[in-house]
Amino acid sequence: MTVSYPNQYRNYCVFTPQVNERCLCDISEIPKIKDSLENPASEDEVLEDLFILNCMLDNGADKTAVAEIYPTLSKYNNTNSPNIQTFLAGIYRKTKIPDAFGPLVKMLIQDSINPHEDAGFDPTEEIGGAILDYLA
């Protein structure tokens, strides 16, 4: 397993060193990540790909290159997974893809109505922060 999910002692995912090393890749890897997100084998694979995209943005990757795969990212906008929601919100916060604003608001409303009490953390913190960045 490459992902260690949040628990009562930690409110974030932890990835194996191999996944962390992939964070150093450049934007030429985005097509591979896009292909992986289009046909993932598991939620772990989706989380790995989103984590890598998020890290790439943190490391100064071209935001427009990541924004170009929004049609692929958007297929996860209706997910109930708090982990996927959190990573999407982080990516959307950094890229400010205009089309992602509505889905962020929808996630926030849905999570407010049906909170993820068993997740060990509150994804609405990241989702709300992303919305505030859009409005700033």
Q: What is the mean pLDDT of residues 11-23?
A: 86
pLDDT tens digits for range 49-87: 999 999 999 999 899 999 999 999 999 999 999 999 999
Buried b / exposed e over 60-69, threshold 16 CB at 10 Å, is: ebeeebbbbb
pLDDT beyond 80 at 126:
yes
Reported as a pLDDT band with limits 50, 70 and 90, residue 2 is confident
Total domains in the fold of the chain: 1
CB 33 within 8 A of CB 53: yes
Residues 6+ apart with CB under 8 A from 122: 111, 115, 116
Over the stretch 77-125, which tens digit does the pLDDT of each residue have?
A: 999 999 999 999 999 999 999 999 999 999 999 999 999 888 778 899 9
Q: What is the pTM of this model?
A: 0.93
Range of the domain at 20: 3-135
